[in-house]
Amino acid sequence: MDLKTLFTAHLRERLAYAEKALAAHALDTLVISSGAAYTHFADDQDAPFRPTPHFRHYCPLMGPHHVLVLRPGQKPLLVRYAPEDFWYEQLSLESIWGGVPFWLEGFELIEAPSLEAVWEAVGKPGNAAYLGNETDRAEAAGLAVNPIHLTAFLDWGRAYKSAYELQCLEEATVLGAKGHLAGRQAFLAGASELEIHHAFAQAVGCLDHELAFASIVALNEKGATLHYENKRSHKNGETMILDCGARVLDYASDITRTVTAPTCNARFVALVKGMEKLQLELCAGVKPGLPFSQLHHQTHVKVAALLEASGIVKASVDESLAKGFTFPFLPHGLGHHLGIQVHDVGGKLAGPDGTFQAPPPGQEYRSLRTTRTLEPRQVLTIEPGLYFIPMLLRPFREGEHAGRFDWKLIDELSPLGGIRIEDNLLVTEGAPRNLTREHLPN
CATH (domain of 60): 3.40.350.10
Sorting pLDDT into bands at 50, 70 and 90, what band is 411?
Answer: very high
Answer whether residue 331 shows pLDDT above 90. yes
Identify whether 442 is part of a domain. Answer: no
Residue 369 lies in a domain: yes
Q: Are residues 135 and 276 in the same domain?
A: no
Domain count, the chain: 2
Inside any domain, residue 23: yes
Check residue 197 and give its pLDDT: 98
Residue after which a domain boundary falls, among 138, 157, 176: 157
* Residues 380 and 320 both lie in one domain: yes
281 pLDDT band (50/70/90 cuts)? very high
Euclidean distance between CA atoms 167 and 179, whole angstroms: 19
pTM of the model: 0.96
Residue 198 sits in the same domain as residue 107:
no
Other C-beta atoms closer than 10 Å to the C-beta of 414 total 18
Confidence of residue 86 (pLDDT cuts 50, 70, 90): confident
Is residue 147 domain-shared with residue 168, that is, in the same domain?
no
- The SS3 call for residue 10 is helix
Q: Are residue 254 and residue 389 in the same domain, yes or no?
A: yes
pLDDT at 355 over 90: yes
Beta strands in 227-328 (DSSP E): 239-244, 247-248, 251-252, 255-260
Q: Tell me, yes or no, whether 269 and 211 share the same domain.
A: yes
Residue 305: CATH number of its domain: 3.90.230.10
pLDDT bucket at 236, cuts 50 / 70 / 90: very high
Reported confidence tier of residue 38, pLDDT bands at 50, 70, 90: very high
Would 108 be classed as within a structural domain?
A: yes
Does the residue 143 lie in any domain?
yes
Question: Of 135, 157, 179, which closes a domain?
Answer: 157
CB proximity list for 116: less than 8 A, separation 6 or greater: none
- Same domain flag for 198 and 104: no
441 occurs within a structural domain? no
- The verdict on 262 and 377 lying in the same domain is yes
Q: Which of 2-11, 355-364, 412-421 has the lowest mean pLDDT?
A: 355-364
Which residue range(s) make up the domain with 56?
3-157
pLDDT at 300 over 90: yes
| Greatest extent of the chain over all pairs of C-alpha atoms, in Å | 71
The mean-pLDDT minimum among 78-92, 132-146, 207-221, 292-306 falls in 78-92
Amino acid at 287: K
pLDDT at 87 over 90: no
Whether the per-residue pLDDT at 88 is higher than 90: the answer is: no
> Quick check: 193 and 61 in contact, CB under 8 A?
no
Last residue within a domain, chosen from 103, 134, 157 = 157
Distant-in-sequence, close-in-space partners of 344: CB < 8 Å, separation ≥ 6: 158, 159, 336, 337, 338, 379
Mean of pLDDT values over 111-136: 97
Same-domain pairing of 74 and 189: no
202 plus 350 within the same structural domain: yes
With respect to residue 440, please indicate whether it lies within any of the assigned structural domains.
no
The answer to whether residues 20 and 92 belong to one domain is yes
